[in-house]
Amino acid sequence: MITKLEALPPTKYALALHTTTPELGLVISNFGEDTRTHVWNLGRDLSSLIHQHLIDLIEPQTWTDLAFIAVAKGPGGFTGSRIGLVTARTLGQQLGIPVFAISTLAAVAWHFYSKNPNTQPIVAVEMPAQRARVFGAIYQIAADNSGIMTLLPDTVLTPKVWQETLANWHIEYQLIKATSGLAATVTSILELAYLDWQQDKRPHWSEALPYYGQHPVDI
């Protein structure tokens, strides 16, 4: 976790979900002394088990203790991403609380830098996509760890175009290849959302939209 974050109001918590892969990542935190996180490899059972895992993780807190929800919006698997967004939006609507949709690639960049704070603050993230493509994005971590800036938005490219993009990037960067264990970055999803929360951003649940990047079938 990043340091020097102000706590939420007393008794309030935040929840994050990561479902863009066959793994389910959940974390609940008050950004004080209580943070609980877990990752399950559910495969095709994700849709049928996510709600029970949510209930189990939240206890002894209740739904009304939540101040906001964060969710990985993609890129990633079409079905998993949709499950996470629908769940987060439904909870946000029913509870009347903000829902932050955070890029999967931004979470990877933030997670890497939080584990390696003395490395290059400009992070390029590459992730395999369907049909011989890759997802790519480039981010810059703020010097005081106060947030993340998008230098190149999440996009889908051919490997050749991505390599050309990196070759023509005239600022030193660190390349991260996101190939596995992405659900573990659910804590970064929550941290990035909380940084937005601290800047008084309160996105309506209807603003939480997925980023698929590609159509789920070849057309």
Pick the CATH number of 105-177 from 3.30.420.200, 3.40.50.300, 3.40.190.10, 4.10.780.10: 3.30.420.200
pLDDT at residue number 178: 93
Closest CA to 39 of 56, 51, 48, 27: 27
- Buried residues in 196-206 as b, exposed as e (16+ CB within 10 A): bbeeeeebebe
The secondary structure of residue 136, as a DSSP letter, is E
What pLDDT does 182 receive?
Answer: 95
What CATH architecture applies to the domain 13-103+181-207?
Answer: 2-Layer Sandwich (3.30)
Domain 13-103+181-207 and domain 105-177 have a common topology: yes
Q: How far apart are CA 45 and CA 42, in angstroms?
A: 5
> What does each C-alpha distance from 134 to 39, 155, 170, 196, 201 come to in angstroms?
25, 8, 21, 28, 31
| Residue 80 near residue 183, CB atoms below 8 Å | no
Total residue count of the chain as it appears in this document: 219
pLDDT for residue 217: 47
| Assigned token pair, 73 | 């919006």
Both tokens of residue 155? 């996009």
The confidence score (pLDDT) of residue 7 equals: 61
Q: Report in angstroms the alpha-carbon separations of 142 from 117, 123, 131, 147, 151.
A: 11, 11, 34, 5, 12
> What pTM value is reported for the model?
0.92
- pLDDT value for 8: 79
Positions in the chain short of pLDDT 50: 1-3, 217, 219
Please report, for the chain, the start and end positions of each structural domain, with discontinuous segments joined by +: 13-103+181-207, 105-177
